[in-house]
Homo-oligomer: A and B are copies of this chain.
Amino acid sequence: MSWTVYLSGEIHTDWREVIQEGSDAKGLPVRFSAPVTDHGASDDCGVAILGAEEKKVWHDRKGAGVNAIRTRTLIEQADIVVVRFGTQYKQWNAAFDAGYAAALGKSLVILHRPEHQHPLKEVDAAAQAVAETPEQVVEILDYVINGVLAK
């Protein structure tokens, strides 16, 4: 069986690559998916494809709609949703994805540094696991899929 893991959230560090390379190194049968991580493309996709808008709010609305086609579909197809909160930006879309995934009954893994523990307490409480590093996420996937605890 192949597992499908959606990697939501922070797009400014290489945590997705760490998880994917770690998973590949262990030969895990995982198919990863993610939102568009090119910040500029993500912001501008709506107007680039469907026509420019003068007002920023509609510029953003068009883009958010197009991005939602990707994110909603991939979250719905995922067995596990990993959501990473970084140290910058509001990241409300990450928390939104976590709530969306929780309501769909997806297994949820939250990834964040200890200093965000308190503001993320409601999100963490809805998750099956809370990790601090992408390497821990790889270990969770390894254990969950293979059923063996690496020494």
Contact = CB atoms under 8 A, between A and B. Distances in A.
Interface of A: 1, 3, 31, 33-38, 40-41, 44-46, 48-51, 54-58, 60-73, 76-77, 79-80, 85, 89-105, 107, 109, 116-132, 136, 139-140, 143-145, 147-149
A123 B36 contact: no
User: Chain B CB within 10 Å — which of A3, A50, A103, A104 has the most?
Assistant: A103
B99 A66 contact: no
Nearest to A103: B103
Given A95-B92, A97-B99, A103-B99, A128 B80 contact: no
A126 to B, nearest CB: 7
A68 B125 contact: yes
A66 B143 contact: yes
Identical subunits present: 8
B122 A92 contact: yes
Contact of A66 (B89, B97, B140): B140
B60 A121 contact: yes
Contact of A96 (B61, B98, B107): B98
Contacts of A63: 121
Contacts of A72: 105, 107
A25 to B, nearest CB: 16
A147 B99 contact: no
Nearest to A141: B69
